Structure 1
Amino acid sequence: MATDNGNIMWAVAGVHTREEKIYQPLEAYPGRRSGNCTRFPGWHRKSLLIRSSHWRPASRGGGRCWQTEAAAGMAVAVRLALIVLLLLGPGGWGHTEPSRDSLREELVITPLPSGDVAATFQFRTRWDSELQREEVSHYRLFPKALGQLISKYSLQELHLSFTQGFWRTRYWGPPFLQAPSGAELWVWFQDTVTDVDKSWKELSNVLSGIFCASLNFIDSTNTVIPTASFKPLGLANGTDHYFLRYAVLPREVVCTENLTPWKKLLPCSSKAGLSVLLKADRLFHTSYHSQAVHIRPVCRNARCTSISWELRQTLSVVFDAFVTGQGKKDWSLFRMFSRTLTEPCPLAAESRVYVDITSSKQDNETLEVNPPPLTTYQDVILGTQKTYAVYDLLDTAVINNSRNLNLQLKWKRPPENEAPPVPFLHAQRYVSGYGLQSGELSTLLYNTHPYRAFPVLLLDTVPWYLRLYVHTLTITSKGKENKPSYIHYQPAQDRLQPHLLEMLIQLPANSVTKVSIQFERALLKWTEYTPDPNHGFYVSPSVLSALVPSIVASKPVDWEESPLFNSLFPGSDSSSYFVRLYTEPLLVNLPTPDFSMPYNVICLTCTVVAVCYGSFYNLLTRTFHIEEPSKGGLAKRLANLIRRARGVPPL
């Protein structure tokens, strides 16, 4: 460190704050002297803006000189060092840590026996992070809004669906993942949650804002705690049903306001990949539309020493049959979605399209798929052997040079009008009775298997204003009484909670089981009626959960490598598969008062008051005078004379 006239010459180097200043000796920087200052070629005084109070002046012979050039040089050096540290530090460009999240997307196109076409989208985002234990501040593919929900409300699993229409199981077959009409929400909370009801209410309000839905109408009057029907789909430390909540809003209407935030949760939104087909005007011009969000913890490795969070976004639509002039039910991507596939999502590790060509293999190549698939996939799906044509969008050979993939399916000859195969399990629900006092709820459970019987879990949620008579509960199969092996009933409380009825029923082979119970309609307060009370009140659909016997024994597969549509409900063994079905929601009329009567009374009262008050007011505020008719002047007299002369009556 050099001195000049006993004064130490210092320069402030680098970017500093109020708490920290870095000083370096001036003579550590080479340069040439000019007078009392050292000049550095190529450096400008204005190259660094720093308060003058942070500088130390050098004086010689009464002169003052500011060493800005040295400070500017040191600032450049420190900035370069900071850039290098950022590049080589954690999360920088030089860091080679593998990605902790991944995205898989797929589209399954299935020609239905009725001639309609079903399209099922599934987007799976998997994040190798323990949100309950780690403080996460950076989100890459996993939506931040949902990640914060998991941490804030200590969620174990979350399943939310919005559905418009009804999946006709008898004609379309069992779906990959069915949902009831309206909105359905069921959540498993962690066992660390102290007030589950409070967390459930806050969570429904937050989800209502995220998805622009009416989930804020979920309260204690439509929330139940099932004991057997809903089990965790992912990893679960326990099965204490106190931490489970389930609710359905049957009258919820699904529209583009719900689809837009759902698409924004996708890593590529609707800009690339399979999501470019999600065009609202085409998706809602269908017979069935269902979109869902499923969050659950899964094993990260084979030993399951750590967990990962899986977000699965599914969307299912059913297009009406596309009938051509020759009676052929041909279809294409452009005809269904008004768009074609151009490129895969750059963030996706897997992007595939599956086309069900099972009928083509069975009917001696009556179907023609264009372009021809490079690979095929065969597996037992929902108890039936299926064959799929696979199109991998990440394969450059799939998307041609025009960057356009328009899948087409053409029938070489019109398909024969045969009855579609009936699934082994399907159900139907209806309400019977006359008048507005009492009625009966009936559910028909069909087991069409020729020789195998299997049990079914039936869940019924009935609003409190339908008062059930439990002693009238009857279950009959083939004309005989069928006693359930398990039954759980929770009575309703007026304006507090609904009825909950769960039963485990054994369905005999090739039989129809009828479950019926009588009810009485309650009278509501006039403030409890909806704006359209004459439309009726909705009753939530019944839920059926069962292990259905499989026609073909399935082989054990790696669920991580299998398609997404075959991995949400893995079968417990090779002889059966899990199915969850929903019946139709019911519409029940209640005794409704004449809401037009107050309007009529108001109109009549106002009319009478106006007439009476107006008459009395005129009598009290006006004076009446009798006016004699005037005889007229000279002009009138002359006119009458002329009229008399002409024989005309006078004026």
Structure 2
Amino acid sequence: MGEKMAANRCGGTVFLFILIMLSTFVIAHSQDSTSNNGQHVSAVKTRQKPQETAEERTWEAIDVGENSPDKQESSAPVSEVPTAGPRWKDDFQEELVVRPLHSGDIYATFQFRTLWETDFMKGNKVSHYRLFPKSLGQVISKFSVRELHISLTQGYWRTMQWGQPYLPSPPGAEIWVWFQDWVTDVDGTWTELTNVLSGIFCASLNFIDSTNSVQPSASFKPLGIGNATDHRFLRYATLPREIVCTENLTPWKKLLPCGSNAGIAVLLNSEKLFHSSFHSQAVHIRPVCQDTHCKAMSWELRQTLNVVFDLHNSGQGKREWSLFKMFSRTLTEACPLASSSKVYVDVSDSAEGDKFELNPPTPLLSQEVVLGDRRTFAVYDLTQQSTFSTARSLNLLIRWKSNEAGQMLRPLLHAERYVAGFGLQTGEIHTLMYNNHPYRSFPVLLLESVPWYFRLYVQTLTITSKGKTNSPSYIHYEPSKDRVRPHLLEMLVQLPPNSVTEVTVQFERALLKWTEYTPEPNHGFYIGSSVVSSLVPSIVTVDPNATQERPLFSSFFPSKEESSFFVRIYTEPLLVNLPTPDFSMPYNVICLTCTVVAVGYGSLYNLLTRTFQIEEPSPGLAKRIANVIRKMRGVPPL
């Protein structure tokens, strides 16, 4: 018994010793693993720390200027540490140009330019957007857009009274897009793109289809870099009846980095902007070169807004303008995200102050060549504190010294259009192009896009200049197909000096189906504006280097020749009546038919389904009393 107890104690001791050894081994192993994990974590932190520093330096490189020493110091380590994605480098500029017109009106142009050094077409998935709006960036990437140009205009630009605009646009809505050359289904992509843009800008762009879009062959060349010349990847369309209102301005302002809360955009008061003679807002997206050698590409987003305030409609009664009278607001600061924020006032017509007075005065003057003419501008830099007064507000005041309207130099190129003829079967479209240059002739490219229900007779096309026939050197015509595509007519015409060239073509009105008429058919149907593009001779020398720093309003259409400048003008849209049936007749027929059915069928139905019963007249009072008495006596009633 004692031996067994000793054996049990010895076995328990051995078991306990083995258990202690196992626990010691497990604890030591766990400590080793813990120390190894700690070393791994510290190693990871050690490797991640330079990466975080690189990201922070990348953000610093974005925020500081290009030539600052901080950026040079921070950019060196960044190139040594590989990053997961591309570096985003963007820039934002804003400016306002105010031009007093000879008629006493005022012309104001807003331009906001966002430049982003990235490429959507190299397969890189861009997920971070700083200044460039994400909605437009996704559109460019998804639909393989090379260039995108949209304008929404209310009113008509009066060229003979106001001169040439900085960025022309036709009344209504206009959109033209260049797609990348690898897009296979251009028509399907075009339809999807217009539907998406309709939601972004709250416009009726979703009504654009094959019946109102064309493929110009020469009129709309790319404004950005590249040699895209295949017009199969170009689409152009207009909606001349589009009405522009606050619903279109609000999403346009949201595309700005500062919105309408800071900078020049605070002047975008919809109540004042739409109470004007002319209002046009546009969005232009194109690829541009980063430097003079064009080794890298950047994307440029240019948002423009043109407005003309009429002297008489404003109700002022005197020739005096100010920022507060035009927009009910003043400038207090520049946009914090803008690298440049300037206000230009055209003082070319009153360089000596003999016609109008500008307050507050500024010593900064700039001379720029705009539309072939050398102009002088007073410059106000909003990034400088000295620009603002002690009240921290800038309210420019323009006061004319006389009430007499000055004489404006006639534009060298002007065009207009009208419809002639009588009846509702045939008619003629007359397009007049004026060359006001005294001794130089130049060619113009005319584009006509006519809906299919106006059937053109191209054999009746006549071009006359100074009473003589003028033959075009180039003509491109695509006939229409009913309910499929419109007419497209492009021609290159030489305009003699100091002449009027008239282009006439006859058309026949088609009879539509009753479901194809608009809700207001007697108002008429619109024909979009004609587009006239030309290189107009200039009297001043233009610097062809478009990469140097210059105002935004003078750099959108770069000039390739020193002796000419590019001009694109639009004629007024045409309102033409079509043979319209009397839509009150169906209503009368429906009413008459319902009346006949109700009277005839109702009477017949009642006659067939009604049951007739003979009802005896009720007995008199004496007879009823007698029957009661007879009933009590057990005698049959009378």
Query: Which letter does structure 2 place at the counterpart of 1:564?
Result: L
- C-alpha distance in 1 between matches for 2:243 and 2:33: 68
Partner residue, 2:576: 588
The Cα shift of 1:384 comes to 1.9
Q: Does 1:399 align with 2:388?
A: yes
Counterparts in 2 of 1:102 and 1:324: CA distance versus 1, 3 Å: closer
Partner residue, 1:122: 111
Counterparts in 2 of 1:10 and 1:295: CA distance versus 1, 3 Å: farther
- Structure 2: state its 5+ residue gaps: 1-19, 62-73, 76-86, 623-638
Work out which of the residue numbers 409, 426, 432 in structure 1 matches 2:414. 426
- C-alpha distance in 2 between matches for 1:371 and 1:341: 13
Partner residue, 1:8: 26
Counterparts in 2 of 1:5 and 1:194: CA distance versus 1, 3 Å: closer
Query: Which letter does structure 2 place at the counterpart of 1:202?
Result: E
Partner residue, 2:164: 174
- C-alpha distance in 2 between matches for 1:317 and 1:270: 17
Query: Which letter does structure 1 place at the counterpart of 2:118?
Result: S
More displaced 10-residue stretch of structure 1: 326-335 or 82-91:
82-91
The Cα shift of 1:531 comes to 1.4
Partner residue, 1:289: 279
Query: Which letter does structure 2 place at the counterpart of 1:611?
Result: V
The Cα shift of 1:618 comes to 5.6
Work out which of the residue numbers 55, 72, 96 in structure 2 matches 1:90. 55
CA-based RMSD: 2.9
Work out which of the residue numbers 287, 290, 310 in structure 2 matches 1:320. 310
The Cα shift of 1:513 comes to 0.9
Work out which of the residue numbers 368, 371, 381 in structure 1 matches 2:360. 371
Partner residue, 1:245: 235
Contact kept, 8 Å, 1:328 with 1:414, in 2: the verdict is no
- C-alpha distance in 1 between matches for 2:28 and 2:414: 87
- C-alpha distance in 2 between matches for 1:331 and 1:225: 44
The Cα shift of 1:370 comes to 1.1
Counterparts in 2 of 1:598 and 1:328: CA distance versus 1, 3 Å: closer
Q: Does 1:525 align with 2:535?
A: no
In the TM superposition, 1:59-208 aligns within 5 A as 84=49, 87-91=52-56, 96-97=74-75, 100-133=89-122, 134-208=124-198
Query: Which letter does structure 1 place at the counterpart of 2:521?
Result: P
- C-alpha distance in 1 between matches for 2:164 and 2:395: 27
Work out which of the residue numbers 4, 19, 24 in structure 1 matches 2:34. 24
Partner residue, 2:526: 538
- C-alpha distance in 2 between matches for 1:568 and 1:260: 24
Q: Does 1:455 align with 2:443?
A: yes
- C-alpha distance in 1 between matches for 2:597 and 2:168: 60
Partner residue, 2:378: 389
- C-alpha distance in 2 between matches for 1:590 and 1:201: 28
Work out which of the residue numbers 254, 278, 291 in structure 2 matches 1:301. 291
> How big is each residue's C-alpha offset from its partner over 1:221-242, in whole Å with a ceiling of 9 and x where there is no partner?
1111111111111111331112
Query: Which letter does structure 1 place at the counterpart of 2:105?
Result: D
Counterparts in 2 of 1:632 and 1:446: CA distance versus 1, 3 Å: farther
The Cα shift of 1:199 comes to 1.5
Partner residue, 2:610: 621
Partner residue, 1:32: none
Counterparts in 2 of 1:243 and 1:144: CA distance versus 1, 3 Å: same
Work out which of the residue numbers 399, 407, 419 in structure 2 matches 1:410. 399
Q: Does 1:500 align with 2:488?
A: yes
Partner residue, 1:67: none
> How big is each residue's C-alpha offset from its partner over 1:351-379, in whole Å with a ceiling of 9 and x where there is no partner?
000011112116x5332111111301112
Contact kept, 8 Å, 1:424 with 1:548, in 2: the verdict is yes
Q: Secondary structure at the match of 1:6?
A: helix
Work out which of the residue numbers 498, 501, 514 in structure 2 matches 1:510. 498
> How big is each residue's C-alpha offset from its partner over 1:469-494, in whole Å with a ceiling of 9 and x where there is no partner?
11110111111111111111111111
Contact kept, 8 Å, 1:473 with 1:518, in 2: the verdict is yes
More displaced 10-residue stretch of structure 1: 98-107 or 380-389:
98-107
- C-alpha distance in 1 between matches for 2:358 and 2:22: 89
Q: Does 1:280 align with 2:270?
A: yes
- C-alpha distance in 1 between matches for 2:379 and 2:570: 30
Counterparts in 2 of 1:74 and 1:402: CA distance versus 1, 3 Å: farther
- C-alpha distance in 1 between matches for 2:582 and 2:613: 47
Partner residue, 2:13: none
- Structure 1: state its 5+ residue gaps: 14-21, 29-70, 634-651
Contact kept, 8 Å, 2:91 with 2:338, in 1: the verdict is yes
Work out which of the residue numbers 236, 242, 248 in structure 2 matches 1:258. 248
> How big is each residue's C-alpha offset from its partner over 1:540-595, in whole Å with a ceiling of 9 and x where there is no partner?
11000011122333345654311000001122223221100000011111111222
Number of aligned residue pairs: give it. 577
The Cα shift of 1:107 comes to 0.5
TM-score after normalising by structure 2: 0.84
In the TM superposition, 1:38-57 aligns within 5 A as none
Counterparts in 2 of 1:623 and 1:12: CA distance versus 1, 3 Å: farther
TM-score after normalising by structure 1: 0.83
Counterparts in 2 of 1:632 and 1:317: CA distance versus 1, 3 Å: farther
% identical equivalent positions:
61
Q: Secondary structure at the match of 1:132?
A: helix
Contact kept, 8 Å, 1:333 with 1:407, in 2: the verdict is yes
Counterparts in 2 of 1:623 and 1:175: CA distance versus 1, 3 Å: same
Write 1 or 2 for the structure with the bigger share of helix: 2
Counterparts in 2 of 1:11 and 1:492: CA distance versus 1, 3 Å: farther
- C-alpha distance in 2 between matches for 1:536 and 1:274: 40
Contact kept, 8 Å, 2:546 with 2:555, in 1: the verdict is no
Contact kept, 8 Å, 1:484 with 1:504, in 2: the verdict is yes
- C-alpha distance in 2 between matches for 1:454 and 1:373: 40
Counterparts in 2 of 1:433 and 1:387: CA distance versus 1, 3 Å: same
Partner residue, 2:567: 579
In the TM superposition, 1:454-493 aligns within 5 A as 454-493=442-481
> How big is each residue's C-alpha offset from its partner over 1:207-233, in whole Å with a ceiling of 9 and x where there is no partner?
111111111111111111111111111
Contact kept, 8 Å, 2:104 with 2:405, in 1: the verdict is no
Contact kept, 8 Å, 2:212 with 2:486, in 1: the verdict is yes
Query: Which letter does structure 2 place at the counterpart of 1:399?
Result: F
Contact kept, 8 Å, 1:235 with 1:297, in 2: the verdict is yes
Contact kept, 8 Å, 1:123 with 1:312, in 2: the verdict is yes
Partner residue, 1:645: none
- C-alpha distance in 2 between matches for 1:132 and 1:117: 42
Counterparts in 2 of 1:501 and 1:10: CA distance versus 1, 3 Å: farther
- C-alpha distance in 2 between matches for 1:335 and 1:496: 49
Query: Which letter does structure 2 place at the counterpart of 1:9?
Result: I
Counterparts in 2 of 1:343 and 1:462: CA distance versus 1, 3 Å: same
Partner residue, 1:62: none
